[in-house]
Structure 1
Amino acid sequence: MRLLIILLLLLNALALAAIRGGLGGAATRGEAERLTAQLTPERIRLAGDAVAQTAPAPAGGDTDAAPRTDKPATDGLPLPEQAGPAVAPSDEATGEGGTAGESASAAPPTPPGCLAWSGLGEEDATQLVTRLRQQGAEPVRHADTRIDTWWVRIAPARNRSAAELHERSLHAQGIRDTFIVQEAGPSQFAISLGVFKTERRARQLLEQLYAKGVRDAAIEPRTRTVYRIEARPPLAAMHAIESAADDFEQHRQSCENAPPNTD
């Protein structure tokens, strides 16, 4: 028993000597000794430290290092799981699957607007219609009969002699501004006493004649027919169309703004 105890003590002493290197073997090194034995321990950085050092310094001159993050560096790009699928151009932008340029070129040209020439006489209206048809436009003619002037006159006599006799009696009453109509027609041998643009002026003269004893004078409205021509001519041909008369351009306006006519 005593020999067994002595043997155990010897074994323990040998084990302790082996651990401390007493037997010539290298002792087991700890964590601190391993770090010291490395060639460049100061270059070792964790992944989070690398991100913090490459991040830009905060604004305002703050030189403190940015806080370390556990997220990997992405250089501002979305993470793979966050990136959505590429969006193809919609058919609305390109028009039925084509390109925008093809859609624009396929659009129909804008038709010319409706133009109207108003207040034309019969001769000018006929010339304008002819020019429009020569340029490929189809004009529409509207006629409007309106009062042009107000005529103060004495009704036509049976013949020229009777008209001259009546005129001499007017001169005797102090009415000198007279004229006997000579042209053939319903007003031949009528005695004209004045023509006015407004009915008010015509009635003023009529009252003066009544005051001088003239009872057979009367007011007759004189009418004329004016025309409005509507068409959609090519704009490039406007000069050729309107060169038939110097004032065609003054009569032209859009159909929406043209004064109404009576067909």
Structure 2
Amino acid sequence: MAPLRVFVIILLFANLLALSLWKGWLGGELHHGEPERLSNQLNPDGIRLVGEEPRAPVRRAPVPAQAPAVEGKVEEAPAQEAVAPQACVIFSGLSGDQTRELSARIAKAGSGFKLTEARGEAPSSWWVHIPSQGSKDAADKKAAELRKLGITDLFIMQEAGPTQFAISLGLYKSELAASRQLDALKEKGVRSAQVLARGGGVSRLEVRGPSDSLATVVSDLSERLRGVNRLECTP
């Protein structure tokens, strides 16, 4: 009976050991079958690749809110009016009265004009004459010689001064007309006649303004400014 008892005790301990291993009482881990192995394989959170760092969650910048579109008509900028180009005209050889009249008329025409006045020493006339003969008798003798040459339009200056007893042969507004008279006298044999510029204090008026308005003003003044030089200038 003793060997049988020993065999039963050994068998009992073997069953207890198998039960302990199967229950995991001894620290081991037993897999109870195919369903448990499949559940472990389908657990994605438990999967890790060797050497891979965990990735931080990607943050996306917030999309700025757009202002709602305002429906309505788009206002168009008003069209700019065409501006007339600037022009410039110079009136030269003006007397004092002509300068004042021209300035007053242009000022009355509007505020878009700019006037620039310059008073020069340009001669106002050219005098064709024979210089002083020194005495009245000498002047009378010279005048008689001129009349014999067919020159009757002459005058002996009587007023005291450097031109006393000079013989005047004509006073002209332009140097060109005086030069022509001098050439005509030379053709008749007069060799002592001369041309002398006289006067001064004439004005030069420069007018700037819109081309269309300035053209109208100049046209209106054309009859009143006969004999006055008119030139175009750079605006």
Smaller-chain TM-score range? 0.3 to 0.5
User: How does the TM-score come out when normalised to structure 2?
Assistant: 0.43
Larger radius of gyration: 2
User: How does the TM-score come out when normalised to structure 1?
Assistant: 0.39
Bigger RCO of structures 1 and 2 (CA < 8 A, at least 6 apart)? 2
